[in-house]
Amino acid sequence: MKKQTLPTIFAADQSPHWTSQHDGIWSRRGADLDAVPTLSILTTLWDQPRWLEAYHLYDDQGSELFEEICELPEYYLTRTENSILEAQAKNIIAAAAVECIVELGAGYSKKTIHLLTEQLRQRGHCLFAPIDVSAAGLIASQAAVRRDFPQIEFHGIHARYDAGFAAVDKNLPTLFVFLGSTIGNFNQTDFPRFFRALAEAMGPNDYLLLGADRVKDKNILQPAYNDSRGITAAFILNVFQNINRLLGGNFAREKMRYHSWFNPEWQQIEMYAVAKENQTIRFPSAKAEFIWQRDERILVEISRKFEANRLQEQLSFIGLQPVAHYSDPQDWFSVLLLRKQAHR
């Protein structure tokens, strides 16, 4: 059997814990990523009120629907963030003198290409390591990078974000990239927990590039999450087909409807599935069931909106020092560059 060559991105004490079933894609030994969604679904559906973690949305069908959302005229986020990165990639890479780019998410969107192109132009070399729970997404990203950037050393990390970034060598100067306003999916409890863990995992020469949607008029926000073609509704409600497949459940699409609104107190869009009638939801594999009552809501996803200055101050308390703030002409979206704070 051919001996595996361990990638240089892993810390020395982490390397023994990772293995490769596909060339260039690394998984943690013994990790069962399929078990995590089951526990998450059962836990949050029994909470009061009921809710789901957003990552359940991204099965194959959900991922395709989200790609359609990104092209909708109402959904300004993707094209606005991309325009910022296209204009500022040169300045971002010049400010962040790193050897490795670690993207939280399968990566290789139009936005990532701007960064990879500049890293090669300015430094002549690049390690690229996207982290994702989808092995298929990582394999697709790898194929695209090898086709368009054969000089880039690609290492996909098949893991949850926290397990993936904790394995990266702190002595390797790294730019962690977290785009798409995915930060908005974290609730007020998960947000500080996640960024404290990321800051702790970062080395003294590491940076974070973070995309965050800004607070703005609800007449701009609300159509972005309730488009005229109903693609967003299909995306949100598709999560229940994913749950049925994972747990053998009996959620019925025709017995639910989509509802979204902007919550001004929490400054977030909230996306719900609402029961049209009383129904008994059963999970035979877990020997569990509950009554989903008419008009009862299940919170499927949130998208928080941020005031850029307050967000930078909050992250500085966690240990991430602001370096630069890039925005668009309308100040609709922020791309923040932050650096790991030196210990005082």
* Residue 10 covered by a domain: no
Bridge partner residues of 211 (DSSP) = 335
Instruction: Note the pLDDT tens digit of each residue in 7-30.
Output: 788 998 988 889 888 889 999 887
The verdict on residue 7 lying in a domain is: no
Whether residues 212 and 222 share a domain: the answer is no
Is 6 a domain residue?
A: no
Paired residues of 157 in beta bridges: 26, 131
Could you tell me the residue range of the domain that residue 233 belongs to?
35-71+217-304
Q: Burial letters for 53-62: b for 16+ Cβ neighbours within 10 Å, e otherwise?
A: bbbbbbbebb
**Looking at residue 130, which CATH number applies to its domain?**
3.40.50.150
Q: Are residues 294 and 325 in the same domain?
A: no
Same domain, 293 and 176: no
Instruction: Provide the 8-state DSSP code for 342.
Output: P
Domain assignment of residue 97, yes or no: yes
The 3-state DSSP class for residue 65 equals helix
235 token code pair:
């995306």
Given the structure tokens 């995992």, which residue do they identify? Answer: 201
Instruction: Please check whether residues 170 and 201 belong to one and the same domain.
Output: yes
Residues 127 and 23 in one domain: yes
Residues 137, 229 share a domain: no
- Clarify whether residues 105 and 200 are in a common domain: yes
The answer to whether the Cα torsion of 268, 246, 22, 13 is positive or negative is: positive
Are residues 87 and 208 part of one domain? yes
Task: Give 254-301 as a 3 state SS string.
Answer: HHEEEEEEEECCCCEEEEEEEECCCEEEEEHHHCEEEEECCCCEEEEE
pLDDT at 98: 97
Domain match, 113 and 100 both: yes
160-118-139 Cα angle (round to 5): 35
Looking at the chain, the number of H-run helices and the number of E-run strands are 11, 15
Neighbouring C-alpha atoms within 13 Å toward the C-beta of 248: 7
Nearest to 101 by CA among 83, 89, 84: 89
pTM of the predicted model over 0.85: yes
Burial 288-301 (b: 16+ CB within 10 A, else e): eeeebeeebbbbbb
Asked whether residue 67 falls in the same domain as residue 124, the answer is: no
**Residues contacting 298, CB < 8 A, separation 6+:** 45, 49, 50, 51, 52, 272, 273, 274, 292
Closest CA to 299 of 267, 279, 269, 273: 273
Whether residue 9 is contained in a domain is answered as: no
pLDDT at res. 3: 46
For residue 20, the 8-state DSSP code is E
Q: Residue 203 has what pLDDT?
A: 96
Q: Do residues 65 and 234 touch, judged by C-beta distance below 8 A?
A: yes
Asked if the bond preceding 192 is cis, omega within 30° of 0, the reply is no
Across the chain, the runs of DSSP E, i.e. the strands, are: 18-22, 25-28, 100-104, 127-132, 153-154, 156-158, 174-178, 207-213, 256-263, 268-275, 279-283, 288-292, 297-304, 320-327, 333-340
168 and 300 housed in the same domain = no
Q: Rounded distance, CA 278 to CA 295, Å?
A: 8
Question: Is residue 107 domain-shared with residue 155, that is, in the same domain?
Answer: yes
How many domains would you assign to the chain? Answer: 2
The pLDDT tens digits along the chain (344 residues) read: 344 565 788 998 988 889 888 889 999 887 766 666 788 899 999 999 999 999 889 888 998 999 999 999 999 999 999 999 999 999 999 999 999 999 998 877 789 999 999 999 999 999 999 998 888 889 999 999 999 999 999 999 999 899 999 999 999 999 999 999 999 999 999 999 999 999 999 999 999 999 999 999 999 999 999 999 999 999 999 999 999 999 999 999 999 999 999 999 999 999 999 999 999 999 998 899 999 999 999 999 999 999 999 999 999 999 999 999 999 999 999 999 999 987 64
307 dihedral zone (left: phi>0; alpha: psi -120 to 50; beta): beta
Residue with tokens 């910022």: 84
